[in-house]
C-alpha cells in the first residue's frame, strides 16, 4: 500500500512510529528539555494545589499502583497517576503554552505513566522523542482544526480536545506501538476528546481537570491499541463521525495535519510562562512592568489604567472573579493590578491572602477595559497608564517574555523551576532532577528520574 492510499491518521501514525530518535534535530531536543524541566517544576508545586488533592482523593478509591504521584509519597495505577499529575501540572497556571495549548501538562504525565506499562528500558533519547512527538501531534491537530482562535472561539478548550491526541502519540511511542497500533490509538483518542470553555463564567475549577483527562485519555487510547482493540483509521477523514466534522466543521484545514511533518517541529513555537496567569494576560503584564520601570510612580499617583484589547481576549480573561485561584489567574485586570502593586505576577501574588490585600482591590478599581473591534483575536492588549498630574504613557508588547522569540534565559528558567520544585522537594532532589533532565540524552533508563520525584506535598499548606 502506498502512502497515498493511507488515511491522514495512518500517515501520521507511520511517522510517529517510524522516526528514529536520532533524526530529531539537536535544537529541538534542547528546547524540549527546557519544557520538560519547566513542566516538572509546575507539576511538583501543583501537587500541593487544592484541585490536585481532590483528584488524589477520588483516584485513591481505585486503589494503589506503581505509578508515582509527583511531589508526594503516593502511587496509583498508571491511568490514575496520569490524571492526577496532569491536574497538578496545570493547577497553578504556570505550565507552558502554544502547543495544543498546554502541551506539557498533557504529554509529560502520560509518558511518565506509560513507563509503568512497559517492561523495556526507555532511554533518555527515546523519552525525548516521545515528548517531541506528543507536542507535535497535539499542535498539528489544533492547526488542522483551523488554529487556536477559531477552535477555542467555538467554546472548545484545545488543551483537551487536541491534547488527547498528543498524549496518545507520546504514550504509543513509549509503549513501542507499531504504525497500525498507533493509528488505532489516534482513533480511540478521537472518541475520548472533549473539553469546553464553560468553566470561564463562574469561577469553576474544571479547567484544571482538562489536562488530566487528556493525559489519561491518551494513555488509555494507546493501551487499548496495544491490546488489539481497533480504532477508526478514518478519524481525521471528511466523513460523518470524523473528528474535524464534529469539532471544526467550518474551520477545518486537514492538510495542516501533515504539513512540513518532520521539518517544522511544533515544540519550537511553544512558550514558557514567567507569570502565573492566563498566557493571554502576559503581554499586558509585561507592558505594565515596562511602563512602571521606565517612569517610576507610586500607586497613589496613578489616576487610572486603560487597557484596549480584542473581544476574544476580553472574553477569555477580562473577568474579575477572585473567589478561587483558578478564576483569579484567568483575570487580566488582576494580573495587571499585581504588576502595579507587587511588581510581578508570580504565584505568590495569586494565593488566597494576596488576593484579599486591600491594595489589590484599589488597583483593580482603577483598571478599565475597552474592547476594540478593529483588533484581531490574538492582538496583544495596549496598556495606558494615566497619572494624577495628567500625564500618560502607553505600551503594547508584541512578543511577551517566554515566547520563543523572547525566551526566558537559562538562569531565569532554572530559577522558576527551583522556586516551584522546592515547595515540595528538598534542595538535593530539586537539583538532581534538574541535572538529569538537562542531560537526558545520557540517561540509560528514564525510570532513574523517579527517585527524585517523592516529596512532601501532602504536608504543605494547600495552595488555593
Q: Which CATH architecture has domain 3-274+420-459?
A: Orthogonal Bundle (1.10)
Residue 240: exposure state from Cβ atoms within 10 A (0-12, 13-18, ≥19): exposed
- How distant, in Å, are the alpha carbons of 100, 364, 430 from that of 97? 8, 26, 23
Instruction: Note the pLDDT of residue 154.
Output: 96
Q: For the whole model, what pTM was predicted? A: 0.97
Q: Which CATH architecture has domain 279-395?
A: 2-Layer Sandwich (3.30)
Number of H helices, E strands in the chain: 20, 6
Give the span between the Cα atoms of 191 and 218, in whole angstroms. 10
Contacts of 367 (CB under 8 A, 6+ apart): 304, 305, 307, 333, 336, 337
Residue whose C-alpha is closest to residue 138's, from 159, 163, 109: 163
Instruction: Note the pLDDT of residue 62.
Output: 86
Instruction: Note the pLDDT of residue 5.
Output: 87
Contacts of 93 (CB under 8 A, 6+ apart): 273, 276, 277, 278, 326, 329, 330, 350
Q: Would you say 203 and 327 are in contact if contact means Cβ atoms under 8 Å apart?
A: yes
Give the span between the Cα atoms of 409 and 415, in whole angstroms. 10
Instruction: Note the pLDDT of residue 2.
Output: 56
Give the span between the Cα atoms of 420 and 157, in whole angstroms. 26
Give the span between the Cα atoms of 191 and 185, in whole angstroms. 10
Instruction: Note the pLDDT of residue 240.
Output: 97
Residue whose C-alpha is closest to residue 306's, from 371, 388, 370, 390: 370
361-400 burial code (b ≥16 CB/10 A, e <16): eebbebbebeeeeebebebbbbbbbbeeeeeeeebbbeeb
**Residues lower than pLDDT 50 in the chain:** 1
pLDDT in tens, 352-409: 999 999 999 999 999 999 999 999 999 999 999 999 999 999 999 999 999 999 999 9
Contacts of 234 (CB under 8 A, 6+ apart): 7, 9, 242
Crossing angle (nearest 10°) for helices 8-18 and 163-175:
40
pLDDT in tens, 332-354: 999 999 999 999 999 999 999 99
Domain residue limits, the chain: 3-274+420-459, 279-395
Reduced to 3 states, what is the DSSP secondary structure of residue 459? helix
439-455 burial code (b ≥16 CB/10 A, e <16): ebeebeebeebbebbbb
Give the span between the Cα atoms of 177 and 6, in whole angstroms. 18
Amino acid at each position: 500500500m502506498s502512502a497515498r492510499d493511507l488515511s491522514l491518521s495512518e500517515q501520521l501514525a507511520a511517522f510517529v512510529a517510524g522516526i528514529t530518535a536520532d533524526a530529531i534535530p539537536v535544537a529541538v531536543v534542547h528546547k524540549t528539555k527546557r519544557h520538560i524541566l519547566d513542566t516538572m517544576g509546575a507539576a511538583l508545586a501543583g501537587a500541593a494545589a487544592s484541585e490536585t488533592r481532590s483528584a488524589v482523593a477520588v483516584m485513591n478509591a481505585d486503589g494503589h499502583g506503581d505509578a508515582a504521584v509527583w511531589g508526594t509519597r503516593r502511587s496509583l495505577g498508571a491511568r490514575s497517576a496520569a490524571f492526577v499529575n496532569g491536574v497538578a501540572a496545570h493547577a497553578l497556571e504556570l505550565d507552558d503554552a502554544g502547543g495544543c495549548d498546554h502541551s506539557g501538562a498533557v504529554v509529560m504525565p502520560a509518558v511518565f505513566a506509560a513507563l509503568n506499562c512497559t517492561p523495556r528500558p526507555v532511554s533518555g533519547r527515546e523519552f525525548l522523542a516521545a515528548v517531541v512527538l506528543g507536542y507535535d501531534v497535539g499542535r498539528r491537530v489544533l492547526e488542522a482544526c483551523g488554529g487556536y482562535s477559531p477552535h477555542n472561539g467555538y467554546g472548545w478548550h484545545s488543551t483537551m480536545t487536541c491534547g488527547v491526541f498528543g498524549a496518545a502519540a507520546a504514550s504509543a511511542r513509549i509503549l513501542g506501538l507499531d504504525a497500525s497500533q498507533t493509528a488505532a490509538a489516534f482513533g480511540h483518542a478521537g472518541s475520548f476528546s472533549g473539553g469546553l470553555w464553560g468553566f470561564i463564567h463562574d469561577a469553576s475549577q474544571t479547567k484544571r481537570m482538562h489536562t488530566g483527562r487528556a493525559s489519561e485519555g491518551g494513555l488509555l487510547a494507546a493501551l487499548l491499541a496495544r491490546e488489539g482493540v481497533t480504532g477508526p483509521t478514518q478519524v481525521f477523514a471528511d466523513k460523518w463521525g470524523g473528528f474535524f466534522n464534529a469539532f471544526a466543521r467550518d474551520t477545518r484545514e486537514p492538510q495542516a495535519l501533515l504539513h512540513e511533518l518532520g521539518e517544522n517541529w511544533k515544540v519550537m513555537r511553544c512558550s514558557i510562562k514567567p507569570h502565573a496567569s492566563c498566557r493571554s494576560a502576559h503581554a499586558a503584564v509585561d507592558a505594565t512592568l515596562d511602563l512602571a520601570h521606565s517612569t517610576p510612580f507610586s500607586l497613589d499617583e496613578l489616576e487610572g489604567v486603560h487597557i484596549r484589547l480584542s473581544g476574544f481576549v476580553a472574553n477569555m480573561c477580562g473577568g474579575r472573579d477572585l473567589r478561587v485561584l483558578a478564576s483569579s489567574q484567568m483575570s487580566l485586570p488582576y494580573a495587571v493590578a499585581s504588576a502595579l502593586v507587587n511588581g510581578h505576577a508570580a504565584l505568590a501574588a495569586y494565593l488566597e491572602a494576596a488576593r484579599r490585600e486591600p491594595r489589590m482591590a484599589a488597583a483593580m478599581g482603577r483598571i478599565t477595559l475597552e474592547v476594540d473591534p478593529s483588533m484581531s483575536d490574538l492582538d496583544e492588549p495596549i496598556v495606558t497608564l494615566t497619572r494624577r498630574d495628567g500625564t500618560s504613557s502607553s505600551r503594547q508588547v508584541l512578543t511577551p517574555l517566554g515566547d520563543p522569540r523572547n525566551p526566558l534565559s537559562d538562569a531565569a528558567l532554572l530559577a522558576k523551576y527551583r522556586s516551584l520544585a522546592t515547595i515540595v522537594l528538598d534542595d538535593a532532589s530539586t537539583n538532581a532532577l534538574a541535572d538529569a533532565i538537562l542531560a537526558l540524552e545520557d540517561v540509560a533508563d528514564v525510570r532513574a528520574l523517579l527517585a527524585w520525584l517523592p516529596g512532601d506535598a501532602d504536608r504543605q499548606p494547600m495552595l488555593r
